[in-house]
Amino acid sequence: MWKIPLCDLHFGPEEAQAAADVVASGWLTMGERTQAFERALGEAFGTTGVLAMTNCTAALHLAYLAVGAGPGDEVICPSLTFVATANAALTTGADVVLADIVGPDDLTIDPADVERKITKRTKAITVVHYAGYPCDMDAILAIAERHGVAVIEDAAHAPLATWKGRALGTIGDVGCYSFFSNKNLSTGEGGAVAARTEELRQRCKLLRSHGMTTLTLERHKGHAFSYDVVLAGQNYRIDEIRSAIGLVQLGRLAEGNRMRRAVVTRYRDRLGALDRVHVPFRDFEARGVGESAYHIMPVLLPEGAPREAVMAAMKARGIQTSVHYLPIHAFSFHGTSERVRRDNLARTDVLAPRELTLPLYPRMTDAQVDEVCAALDASLREVFPG
C-alpha cells in the first residue's frame, strides 16, 4: 500500500532460525535464552540490572510499583508521550500530574515545569526520551534529589542512546525499554527494565512473576523444589521465542542506530529548504550532551496548517506519516479525570497539533528521504498555500 512506509521492520533468516530453535528445544518461556538476552542487554547498556518482560507498559507498571507508587501519591510525566506512561501510573492507584515540554527545538519534558509541579505527594518523576533524544538528566536528577523523589526513565525510543556517556534507562532509579514491532530493537511485543540498585532489581523480578521466590526453570533444574509468594505480583514474563529474536536484533542495534543517524542528517539537510517546516532537535549533536537513538523523525508544520489534510495529501503520494503524540490531556478519559492534573501545558498545547512524524528506518535511501521531503513540500502547498 505504501510507497514509503513509516517504518520498515527488518527480520531475516537469523530471526526465523532463532525462533525455530526455541520451538525445537521444547522450552518456551523464561529459560536460558531469556537469561542470555538479559545479560546481553546489560552488557550493551552498561548495567547488570536488566530484566526482560512482556512489553514496556508492563515495565512501567513494575517501575512504579518498585518505587512504591500507590494511592495518595502523584507521578509527574510529560503530556507529550504515549498514553502508557501515564496509564501505568494510574494503574497503581497514584494520580498523574502532566508536565510541559521544553519548546520547539526540544520536545522532551521541561525540568522547570517539573519542579513547579512537585508537591508533598510526589512519589516519582517520569521522563520520556522522546524520539530517542535524552532529556536534561542533570536537571531532573538534581530536582529529584532536592525533593527526595524517584526518577523513572521511559526509554522506549532510546536503546543505546546516552546522556554524557551513560546509557539512557540506566541513569534514574528504574529505566523502561520497548521492543514493540516498530522499535529500533524489535521482538514484536516485549520490553525490559533496568534497575539502579539490587534492591529495586529484586523487587521488579518478584513483581514480574506473581511475587514468587523461584521460577519454573529453577525448579525444573532441581535448584528449588517449591516457592513462596512474598508480593502481590503480576505475570509479565517474556517468552523464549521473543528473547531469542531479541538477541539477534540486539546484535544489529548499534549499526541500525548509526544508519538512522545518517537518514536524519539527510532529512535535516533537505528540510532546511522548507522554510515553513521546523525540525526539532536539529542542533542536538552540537550540544555535545549525548547520543540519540533516532527512533522517529518529528517535524512541526506551520501554525494553522491542517495536519490531517497534509497527512491525506502525503498518503495520496504513497507516503505514510503519523503523529507522536496526541497529548495525554487531549484524550476523553484523561481530559476529564479527577486523577489527572493538566494545568499550564502551554507549549504542549501549541506545538503538539503541529507535530508530524515522517518515515524513518535504517535502510531508508537518500532518494527516499528526498522524495518524502518533496512530497511534504507539495502537500503543504496543496492544502495550506499561505
Pairing between β-strand 166-167 and β-strand 106-109 as defined by DSSP bridges: unpaired
Of 183, 205, 221, 315, which is the active-site residue?
Answer: 183
Catalytic annotation on 120?
Answer: no
CB 94 within 8 A of CB 64: yes
Reduce the DSSP state of residue 298 to 3 states and report it: strand
Give the span between the Cα atoms of 152 and 159, in whole angstroms: 15
CA distance 352 to 237: 35
* CA–CA dist 34, 251 (Å, integer): 15
For residue 333, give every residue at least 6 positions away whose Cβ sits within 8 Å of its Cβ, in sequence order, or none: none
Taking CA atoms, 168 is separated from 156, 160, 307, in Å, by 10, 7, 31
DSSP-derived pairing of the beta strands 74-78 and 95-99: parallel
d(CA 270, CA 255): 23
Question: Per the structure block, which three cell numbers stand in for 313?
Answer: 495529501
CB 29 within 8 A of CB 215: no
Amino acid of residue 144: A
Q: Quick one: which of 322, 323, 280, 310 has its CA closest to 377?
A: 310
Q: Which residues are catalytic?
A: 183
